[in-house]
Amino acid sequence: MFFKGAAFTHRKNEIIILGGGLTGLSAGSVLTKAGLPVKVFESGGAVGGLSRTIIHGEFRFDLGGHRFFTTNKKTENFVRELLDGELISVQRKSKIFMHDRYFDYPLKPLNAVFGLGIPTTLKIISDYGAERVRRLKKDSDAVSLEDWVVGKFGRKMFDIYFKEYSEKVWGLDCSRISAEWVAQRIKGLSLGVAIKNAFFKFSGRGIPTLADSFIYPSLGIGRIADRLRETIDKNNNHVATSSSVKRLSHDGVRIKSAVVSNCRQIYDIEGSEFISSIPLTAMVQMLHPAPPDNVISAASELKYRDLIIVTVMLNRERVTDQTWIYLPEQKISFGRIHEPKNWSAAMAPRGKTHIVAEYFCAEGDAVWNTDDAGLTDRTVKNLHALGFIKMNEAVDSTVLRIPKAYPLFEVGYERPYDTICSYLGRFQNLHIAGRSGMFKYYNMDHVIEAGIETAERIIKKVSRIQKSEVRMEKQEAVILNPEF
């Protein structure tokens, strides 16, 4: 049995936001500033979604180090104003560790091309040349990640630097990973640009993959979400955590209400506009009445990649001087590590540090099902074998499982995606936004922009409706009272 809006004071024309990550909170913040009534529902116990900072005793860490970088001044100013006095500038220093040695990341030609010995270097150069000649003759469309990278860098570079890591992240052969993902991910990056970057101290500004410094809140990336929440929780607007949306009722053209469960009760909340930043596939499945079978089956075809974060606290001042270290080889069970202290000194107490290891996996697979003790043991042993730590330095640990961390762009994903989007297009008051919400490989800057833009669209719509209501009231007044 549902209670009609009993948990909250219900106001006319309330805007309901599904998800308290950066998309939902940015939208909620802009709508609140415009004086509109807003409720945000977040299923987790805290706000921030993928961009939250975990506090574990005296240690803080992000779910995989999150650097904020944008070329959009409006977005940068939005974050700077929000976190006035809290931001520090961090020098990006990343390496790839493989074949028992370090390589620069982003790739630098001298190190990347010549670091592997003369025969491999010659093969890299000849493959790159052959690919250039082939492209001059025939400009083929890249379908997969493999096509795209081989086309840009040559086969040998693909085999050495891209294949193993990409397959570790996505759990798929590179010929099955869509080229669209890699084109978005390393947009603007070609061997030519990488060479310019290496030889002419080009800052990489404008190419997110190459940018060499970034801003960061001294207490962790989660401060963006915390501050956004503070800008919403006022004048009866509210961010409700531990509140999971279970159902969206509709009449075929408009969403009418959301059923929300907050572990004590289940509520049915009416709204005028609905913003959804929760995973697209989950949102489709909660529509009531249910969409046609082809839409439901399209939703089951879109996949996400999951993540486990293992954090090991260490009785030692510091382990590395890097922001991230990438570990492509399959023999190492995690794919990336970071040391939060290298992002901000405030992330760990004096004399101690911690390493955060990211395991890319699929919910229900062998890694996902390994218990926390097993994952911690594996992480500590790997860090020791790699020469980073001594076994007895590990003093504490914590394990977090994060479902749907990445939308998975398998070749052919566009068909089910288009089926879903064309069905959802009929709902006049449903706005999908954000990374999981839109099934896009969006970073924080993109999702903040998506939240702001969605809010601005709604503000314009509400203002148009209000103006036409005033016009109608005036017309009615003239009819009822000709002297008006």
Q: Which of 29, 281, 443, 454 binds ligand FAD (CB under 6 A)?
A: 443
User: Least Å distance between CB 338 and ligand FAD?
Assistant: 10
The answer to whether 305 contacts ligand FAD (rule: CB under 6 A) is no
Q: Which of 23, 333, 398, 419 binds ligand FAD (CB under 6 A)?
A: 23
The answer to whether 420 contacts ligand FAD (rule: CB under 6 A) is no
Q: How far apart are CA 355 and CA 388, in angstroms?
A: 10
Interacting positions 330-389 with ligand FAD (CB under 6 A):
358
Name the segment binding ligand FAD (CB under 6 A); options: 49-57, 199-207, 291-299, 474-482: 49-57
Residue 481's contacts (CB-CB under 8 Å, 6 or more residues apart) are none
Interacting positions 189-248 with ligand FAD (CB under 6 A):
244-245
Q: Which of 14, 15, 21, 163 binds ligand FAD (CB under 6 A)?
A: 21
The answer to whether 442 contacts ligand FAD (rule: CB under 6 A) is yes
Q: Which of 5, 19, 154, 271 binds ligand FAD (CB under 6 A)?
A: 19
The answer to whether 41 contacts ligand FAD (rule: CB under 6 A) is yes
Beta-sheet strand order (sheet of 430-432): 238-240, 38-41, 15-18, 273-276, 430-432
Name the segment binding ligand FAD (CB under 6 A); options: 13-21, 86-94, 98-106, 140-148: 13-21
Question: Would you say 357 and 324 are in contact if contact means Cβ atoms under 8 Å apart?
Answer: no
Cα radius of gyration (the chain): 25
Q: Which is nearer to ligand FAD, 42 or 147 (CB)?
A: 42
The answer to whether 308 contacts ligand FAD (rule: CB under 6 A) is no
Q: Which of 30, 63, 98, 299 binds ligand FAD (CB under 6 A)?
A: 63
Q: Which of 29, 43, 311, 376 binds ligand FAD (CB under 6 A)?
A: 43
- Cross-strand bridge partners of residue 305: 406
Q: Which of 280, 279, 232, 218 has its CA nearest to residue 68?
A: 218
Name the segment binding ligand FAD (CB under 6 A); options: 48-56, 166-174, 313-321, 349-357: 48-56
Residue 330's contacts (CB-CB under 8 Å, 6 or more residues apart) are 164, 167, 168
Q: Which of 5, 16, 17, 20 binds ligand FAD (CB under 6 A)?
A: 20
Q: How far apart are CA 93 and CA 43, in angstroms?
A: 35
Ramachandran assignment for 220, one of left (phi > 0), alpha (psi -120 to 50 degrees), beta (any other) = left
- Structure token digits, residue 390: 């001594």
